[in-house]
Amino acid sequence: MYAKNDYVTYFLRLNLEGVAHKQFVTLFEVAIKNDAFKVALHIYLRYLKNADMDSRMMELFIYTLRDSLKFHEVKLFFVHEHFDVYTIA
């Protein structure tokens, strides 16, 4: 957890002007997979749009809910906020 806090402060200091939108989406997915939800929240609130959320990202949230108890409230927020893009098969 200590290292993730260091990454958040480092991430906030980065100059991200040249980063493409698609790269932010990919970085958001990587943060979700690795339970780095502080970084993921910053990316979500600053750089992503509702249209960026897709069923693949929703699957990631569901899998991380099962695998880890960390940031459970944040994961449930994303699931509830974007439930319309989730497909139950």
pTM above 0.85, yes or no: no
Could you report the per-residue pLDDT of 27-52, keeping only the tens digit for each? 999 988 888 888 888 898 899 998 89
Domain ranges of the chain: 2-85
The span from the CA of 2 to the CA of 88, in Å, is 36
Could you report the per-residue pLDDT of 4-24, keeping only the tens digit for each? 566 788 888 889 899 999 999
Say yes or no to pLDDT of 60 above 80: yes
CB 28, CB 56: distance < 8 Å: no
Tokens encoding 5: 């806090």
**Residue whose pair of structure tokens reads 């699931």 in the numeric block:** 79
Quote the distance between the C-alpha of residue 5 and its chain's center.
15
Quote the distance between the C-alpha of residue 35 and its chain's center.
8
